[in-house]
Amino acid sequence: PRTAYSERFESLADDRVIFTGNQFGEILRELYSNCRLYVLASSVEGLPITVCEAMAHQRPVLLSDIPENQEVGGDAAIYFKCNDKSELCDKLRALLADSMSCQRLAEAAYQRALELDPQATTPRIGLARLLMLRGEGEAAREALRKLEEEAGTEAQRRKAQLTRAVSHLLDGQRD
């Protein structure tokens, strides 16, 4: 929803800036897949899910240096001092001018995303959720199939957790 706050920013932006509003499903995947660089300049975050999503789509990330962003981005992100517009601009220009650095950063971001699922109890659950975020449902189903092959009640508990996560993601794609 539009607010006075968002309208203020829209009035300051030129025609190179697009305010998309809330996006979900295929449109959101397309936006992530086609962005050259993902920037999050927040001064306050909980768990920055959008950073996780950008990294899952193998996008390089430029983040403010708040602890929450550093926890998620680790060594796979570039940071600028929070609220330092000059440093943000310098790092943004440098990254946009160096496609090889952006590519290496994107690859590191994807590898970091594979490690990151805070709700996962195994890397395979994290991978399946990541693949669902990327819209790769068949690969996610294969990860789930492999999980089903594991024996015991722990595997059943993890399967139920993954099934709930996949259902939630699919529900979001229908919006």
User: Among 111, 146, 147, 149, which Cα is nearest to 130's?
Assistant: 111
Q: Spell out a b/e string for 74-103, using b for 16 or more CB atoms within 10 Å of the CB, else e.
A: eebbbbbebeeeeebeebbeebeeeeeebe
80 beta partners: 64
Distant-in-sequence, close-in-space partners of 10: CB < 8 Å, separation ≥ 6: 19
- pLDDT value at position 20? 86
Asked if residues 129 and 163 have their Cβ atoms less than 8 Å apart, the reply is no
- pLDDT value at position 114? 77
The dihedral through the CA atoms of 79, 6, 12, 32 has a sign that is positive
- pLDDT value at position 99? 95
- pLDDT value at position 17? 83
Asked if residues 51 and 42 have their Cβ atoms less than 8 Å apart, the reply is no
- pLDDT value at position 175? 42
- pLDDT value at position 113? 84
The dihedral through the CA atoms of 135, 137, 142, 143 has a sign that is positive
Asked if residues 82 and 29 have their Cβ atoms less than 8 Å apart, the reply is no
The series of mean pLDDT values per 10 residues for the chain, 175 residues long, is 85 87 84 93 86 90 95 94 97 96 95 68 51 60 60 58 61 49
Residue 80 DSSP code:
E
- pLDDT value at position 24? 80
- pLDDT value at position 15? 87
Asked if residues 52 and 132 have their Cβ atoms less than 8 Å apart, the reply is no
CA dist 134 → 76, 94, 145 (Å): 18, 27, 18
- Residue 148 backbone dihedrals phi, psi, to 5 degrees: -65, -25
